[in-house]
Chain A
Amino acid sequence: MKSLSQKRRHPLAVVALLVMGLLLTGALYSVASSANKAKADTGFSAADVTAGQKLFVANCATCHGMGAQGSPAAPSLVGVGAAAVDFQVGTGRMPMAANGPQAEQKPAQFNDTQTRQLAAYVASLGAGPSLPDPAMTDGQGDATHGGELFRVNCAMCHNAAAAGGALTRGKFAPPLAGVTAQHIYEAMETGPQNMPVFSDANISPEGKRDIITYLQTIEKQGSPGGAELGGLGPVSEGLFMWVAGLGVIIAFTIWLTSRTS
């Protein structure tokens, strides 16, 4: 130790100390923070994984490859996690019916058990986002905060009233009415199709819960002002006025100026 203390005035001592300090902070942070941590799902049994592999080989491997390592037709699924599988397969987007600007939603091809088995298999390939904690999808969060997060993060594609919107070259953000809380959570976590990933560092699990709460609130409350005409804003309102409003008015003008001859 004597030699070390003698070297304390060495020109590189500051650098060494800095490196040690940074390493220590980094290590402590990674221990303390669970954000951005990819974790392998542990909730699945080995039987789930085996059954899932069989389903995968029969239904998905044509494009995603035998070991889900990907092919020119489809990306690798190693590390996409159970959440991605549950969303894509659970909403019927996968298996994809046809190549297009983006995978379209359709009636789910697999039941809940099969979807879970597929998720178990893909989760076993590498660490990725796991299925959401049911406590985060219960819709008991803060709707006001969720609304604010929704307007700042989601409304530019999904529309302020969650009615959906257009993206470039045939891609689109779908309307969110009728989407289950779990699928919304998984979409935010995994960023399916053209959606960006909203990781836990970007929007915390509680924030996601608030967004889900907001969406459920506006869906449940209905439209306070009467029929909402698709919730699409001024275009549908203008169209309604020109077609229905002016149409009725014209019918009345014809009636008023008609003669019984």
Chain B
Amino acid sequence: MSSTPTSYQPPTKVGRIAEFVDQRTGLSSVTREFGRKVFPDHWSFMFGEVALYSFVILLLSGTFLTFFFNPSMAETTYQGAYVPLRGMDMSVAYQSSLHISFEIRGGLFMRQLHHWAALLFVAAMSVHMLRVFFTGAFRKPREMNWVIGGVLLILGMAAGFTGYSLPDDLLSGNGLRIIDGVVMAIPVIGTWISMFLFGGEFPGTAIVGRLYVLHILLIPAMILGLVALHLIFVVVHKHTQYPGPGRNDRNVVGYPLGPVYAAKAGGFFFIVFGVLAAMAAAFTINPIWNYGPYDPSPVSAGTQPDWYIGWVDGALRLMPGVIGDIGGYRQHFEFMIFNQTLSLNILLPALVPAGIVFTVLFIYPWLERWITKDNREHHVLDRPRNAPTRTAIGMAGFTFYCVMWAAASSDLIATHFHVSLNDVTYWLRALFFVGPIIAFTVTKRIALGLQRKDREIALHGRETGRIVRLPHGEFIEVHAPVDEYKRYRLVAFESPLPLPAQPNAKGVVDRRERRRAKLSKWFFEDRVAPVSPAELEAAHAHGHHEAIESAPAGSGH
């Protein structure tokens, strides 16, 4: 880059090396550009980083495991160190997993590190997505990056599930059997897909090898590619920031990448690594030796998938097998149609809730943009309370997910809280339908309540708890005014009014537009207007309610 022949000679050896590298790579201009990138500071912005670091740890520990794992379903007799399994017939895959656990130096640590990192990877991605949703960071221009994130979440779950199935122990085999059941429930082609997937009748001798290729090659490569794209978009869009004095949609307030963030982020990698290593060293995860080799006949109590697949398992557990007694006959959710079995009792819970969650997740940015007709770029985040309907929708979805998630541990809820398993199932079935509605209503009311509280504080200051008796006998509580910086946060937000139906180019209000207007009303009708300068002025000048109420209210924009 700096091709102009300069007479500059660095005086030190390090300088000469740096100059040599720079003249050939042009790295200094990249560093100059990149190092000045400003990132805002907030703890909730770091979950994406946690996910990224977990992924790096997964690659490192996973590579170690590939050195010793043998994805073969050939049969062998165990002769290793673990006494309660010695002499047992098992697959080579399970035997090599036991070998890693008991004979390879550091093998068990690496296995546990890999597994704990996988749990954290998906957990960090989920929390990151929740943060992005509730703060409105998915809005223009970041809709596509939101979709990439959603795909990454699905890939993370796929990576986790394929890995969970590799050791060929009883637990993973039971998990695969459930997947096989779901696949076979697909009408008409299900059985063929199952045969294709397993290379014959379940479990066959092919599945571990196939999952291994997906687990160590295809899925990680896709994740890596999408992570790169995701990060490029972050650089292109710049990072979002929370509202605050001096922050707007045209700037980013924070520290530059170099040196502050480079040091913080680099150090944070080692913190995440350290936390995971401590967990791997001190806490058992997936004790495959307990479960024994896979054998299609036994199914252990307490058989669950890892947490991120739990909600799908929970949906299966919630689904009743029978509709009930109708017309004196017991009606099942399984039907024979044209000599084909239609197993709705498996098909519905396995595909429909997950389908709803991911469809809404992927289209939500476009849905909200259509309802609000808001086509502006947003780089300043919403505080969740300032977008009550969105926050309520998010909590409804979150509750829907959590009900299914809880259902996956229904048996443990029953034993540990000494309640009937049947009752747990009945309650969760009811909550499956009612829970999201309750969550929506309660969340919206809480958000509006918090907004009113913000308004109150902005106008009248913070309650000090100090009660003063006035000379004429009246008691008042002394309110301390908030400082300007804090007040800015309380008053600087948008509270749009419902947007009525607009005529299109032909001057016609079509049915689609009327539907949009209805949704807009639903979205924005309950609102608390931000404090307007006039109201603030009135409050400060007089300190009386009458004065504030007579002042012009917030316009909304």
A residues engaging B (CB < 8 A)? 101, 143-144, 146-148, 151-152, 155-161, 163-170, 172-173, 214, 217-218, 221, 223-229, 231-242, 244-246, 248-250, 252-254, 256-257, 259
Contact = CB atoms under 8 A, between A and B. Distances in A.
Nearest to B40: A257
B285 A256 contact: no
A213 to B, nearest CB: 9
A224 B422 contact: no
Given A151-B292, A169-B420, A237 B306 contact: yes
B191 interface: no
A234 B84 contact: no
Contact of B268 (A157, A228, A256): A256
A169 B414 CA distance: 9
Interface string B258-298: 00000010011001100110010111111101111001011
Given A156-B301, A166-B412, A241-B116, A249 B83 contact: no
Contact of A218 (B84, B120, B409, B418): B84
B304 A235 contact: yes
A93 to B, nearest CB: 16
A155 B301 contact: yes
Interface in B6-48: 41-47
Contact of A232 (B50, B279, B281, B412): B412
Contacts of B415: 164-166, 172
22 contacts: A143-B83, A147-B84, A148-B292, A152-B298, A157-B301, A159-B300, A160-B290, A160-B301, A165-B302, A166-B410, A218-B290, A228-B287, A233-B171, A233-B302, A233-B304, A234-B310, A236-B412, A237-B119, A241-B116, A245-B123, A252-B275, A254-B43
A229 to B, nearest CB: 6
Interface residues of B, number: 71
Interface of B: 41-47, 50, 83-88, 101-102, 108, 112, 115-116, 119-120, 123-124, 127, 170-171, 264, 267-268, 271-272, 275-276, 279, 281-287, 289-292, 295, 297-307, 310, 408-412, 414-415, 418-422
Nearest to A254: B43
6 A-B pairs with the lowest CB-CB distances in the bound complex, closest first: A165-B301, A238-B307, A225-B284, A160-B300, A166-B411, A170-B420
Nearest to B45: A257
Contacts of B419: 170
A234 B88 contact: no
Contacts of B116: 241, 245
Contact of A156 (B127, B300, B412, B420): B300
Q: Binding site of A, secondary structure by majority: helix, strand, loop or mixed?
A: helix
A241 B420 CA distance: 27
Nearest to A153: B298
A240 B87 contact: no
B86 A144 contact: yes
A217 B123 CA distance: 35
Contacts of A151: 170, 291-292, 295, 298, 300
Nearest to B49: A253
B84 A143 contact: yes
Contact of A160 (B50, B119, B285, B292): B292
Given A164-B415, A235-B412, A245-B119, 4 more contacts: A165-B301, A168-B422, A249-B50, A259-B41
Nearest to A237: B285
A143 B84 CA distance: 5
Nearest to B53: A249
Given A226-B281, A234-B305, A165 B411 contact: yes
Contacts of A249: 50, 120, 124, 271-272, 275
Interface centre among B43, B264, B295 (most CB of A within 10 A): B43
A227 B282 contact: yes
Nearest to B424: A166
B279 A234 contact: no
A248 B275 contact: yes
Contacts of B412: 166, 232, 235-236
Contact of B301 (A173, A226, A244): A173
Interface centre among B47, B267, B287 (most CB of A within 10 A): B287
Nearest to B282: A226
B98 to A, nearest CB: 11
A244 B83 CA distance: 33
A246 B126 CA distance: 12
Interface centre among B85, B120, B298, B305 (most CB of A within 10 A): B298
Contact of B42 (A228, A229, A237, A257): A257
A99 B171 CA distance: 35
